[in-house]
Structure 1
Amino acid sequence: MPILTAIILAAFVGYGTAWYLGAIEGNFALLLFMATVVTGLYWLAERFIFLPRRRAAADALQQQADQRRADLAAQGITQVDQGDLATARERVLAQPWWLDWTAGLFPVILIVFMLRSFVFEPFKIPSGSMIPTLLVGDLILVNKFTYGLKLPVIHTRLTEGKPVQRGDVVVFRYPPQPSVDYIKRVVGVPGDEVSYLNKQLTVNGQPMPRAVASDFFDESTMEYYKQFDEQLGVKNHRIIVDDRRPGFVAGAFDFQYKDNCRYSVEGVSCKVPEGHYFVMGDNRDNSLDSRFWGFVPDGNIVGKAFFVWMNFGDLKRIGAFN
């Protein structure tokens, strides 16, 4: 068992290292699931096989000591040196390293797996596509049950939750590369006619209300950008716009239901198909979103982003957001 365990642990370390170095495309959900299964099997083996064996060995050790004391007492010897019996029992009962690093970790890994799969999942914002709502380096929490629970890894829906609404900030599996998670704002739900023409968002023929706000200073580029308060349904949020960039969409991908979209020098208009969503970044001129790669299937939705729990560069960022 020690050799087999060493091989299994080495496989996990090798997978993680190859993922970190970019040699393979990792899947953390699958890795965590496999770690839960493997450590769970070791935990069951420890509970029902290995621990009873160690206890039996410790009891046998105690019985041998008791028998020796009884034999000596029969000979009239009452002063018996017990030696290091207690220490020996502790050593016999102690978990070996290969169980300590498997069965011993199972409860912690199981809790992390359950929380991450069905309650909250942490994410780190890697790019500036959601500025000013979310900044690079924000560590956020994503609610996994708002839109209904799904089985991890295979993403099969277990329960029906609330419907995704316009204005929600969602994390989803990037349609062109589902192993990668993206975060954007939903601007169109199934059946909507969404237009982004001349940098004005229109949904079902109605321009989304927006008001001029103070300019936003982006510390990463050391530049000021125009900022607006935009309202989607009941959600009010801020966006930034770069007037130096043209409104047309350059380099749109080929994607499913692309025939639902019409591109022009002014921008793009799309009819959102059933079971899909149209998403955009709040940094409207610096976001690779549905304008370029199409619609997000409902099955790709991971959860609703709602809280910044840490930003090591700016603790004032901690809190809820729209």
Structure 2
Amino acid sequence: MKRSHFTREIIELIVITLLLFVVIRFIIHGYHMQSANMQPAISTDAYVMVNRTSYMLGKPQRGDAVVLHYPPDTNIDVMGRIIGLPGDTIKTDNQHVTVNGTVLNEAYVKTPFNPEGHEWKVPADAYFILNDNRQMTDDSRNWGPVNRDMIVGKAVVVFWPVNTWQIINSYPSTYTQIKDQP
């Protein structure tokens, strides 16, 4: 009787350990923010929890903060915010970003800045990603729209340092007025 109880406990411990391993390895990913591209909301040296499975069930949305493979060097991961979806037309001038004819009122951007006016048409299965710190111009304004397979996952929570803990806002009210392209 005692032997079967002990065996059951060992099996339960192994199953729990495997479940934790799967969750940590394949679903949740910790990302160490090493640049100022998402300031002021997310500080340099913060740690962010990224949900790797969030886009298995749904599509990326405008406003989502995402971690992606850096297009010039896919061995490096960076963070940005999805501004444009497949089919969208993005226009910039020196101070504004326009999506499908709607000028964005981006409360999360401290200093609006675009080095030059430009227009992009986001291709199918690609996304237009900008930094919140617009003075850091290493984003889709430089490398163009990013293919879906470059996105690692949705950034969900800043968990370190503890005094900066926060759920990452996707600012849905900023994007509700945008009409999807036919």
Q: Specify if TM > 0.5.
A: yes
Contact 1:199–1:267 (CA under 8 A) maintained in structure 2? no
The equivalent residue for 1:269 is: 119
Q: Aligned equivalents of 2:49 and 2:153: distance in 1?
A: 9
Aligned-partner SS, 1:299: helix
Match of 1:116 among 3, 8, 24: 24
Q: Aligned equivalents of 2:137 and 2:23: distance in 1?
A: 30
TM-score by length of 1: 0.45
1:110 deviates by 5.4
Aligned residues: 156
TM-score by length of 2: 0.78
Greater per-residue helix proportion: 1
Match of 1:317 among 143, 164, 168: 164
Aligned-partner SS, 1:239: coil
Amino acid at match of 2:127: Y
The equivalent residue for 1:132 is: 40
1:287 deviates by 3.6
The equivalent residue for 2:75 is: 179
Contact 1:117–1:144 (CA under 8 A) maintained in structure 2? no
Amino acid at match of 1:187: I
Q: Aligned equivalents of 1:268 and 1:113: distance in 2?
A: 45
**C-alpha distance after superposition, 1:249-288 (max 9, x if no partner):** xxxxxxxxxxxxxxxxx42210000010010000001241
Match of 1:299 among 125, 149, 162: 149
Counting only pairs closer than 5 Å after superposition, residues 58-73 of structure 1 correspond to structure 2 as: none
Contact 1:191–1:272 (CA under 8 A) maintained in structure 2? yes
1:173 deviates by 1.3
The equivalent residue for 1:93 is: none
The equivalent residue for 1:283 is: 133
Q: Aligned equivalents of 2:75 and 2:65: distance in 1?
A: 19
Counting only pairs closer than 5 Å after superposition, residues 162-311 of structure 1 correspond to structure 2 as: 162-210=58-106, 229=107, 238-241=108-111, 247-248=114-115, 266-311=116-161
1:207 deviates by 0.5
Match of 1:146 among 49, 54, 77: 54
Q: Aligned equivalents of 2:17 and 2:40: distance in 1?
A: 35
Contact 1:124–1:139 (CA under 8 A) maintained in structure 2? yes
Q: Aligned equivalents of 1:271 and 1:294: distance in 2?
A: 9
Counting only pairs closer than 5 Å after superposition, residues 81-96 of structure 1 correspond to structure 2 as: none
1:316 deviates by 2.4
1:111 deviates by 5.6
> Aligned pair in 2 of structure 1 residues 138, 208: CA closer, same or farther (>3 Å)?
same
Instruction: Report which stretch shifted further, 107-116 or 162-171.
Output: 107-116
Contact 2:67–2:77 (CA under 8 A) maintained in structure 1? yes
**Runs of 4+ in structure 1 over 6 Å off:** 106-109
Aligned-partner SS, 1:241: coil
> How well do the aligned residues superpose, as a CA RMSD in angstroms?
2.2
Q: Aligned equivalents of 1:267 and 1:280: distance in 2?
A: 15
1:177 deviates by 1.6
Identity %: 33
Larger radius of gyration: 1
**C-alpha distance after superposition, 1:194-221 (max 9, x if no partner):** 11212201000111124xxxxxxxxxxx
Contact 1:122–1:142 (CA under 8 A) maintained in structure 2? yes
Counting only pairs closer than 5 Å after superposition, residues 17-56 of structure 1 correspond to structure 2 as: none
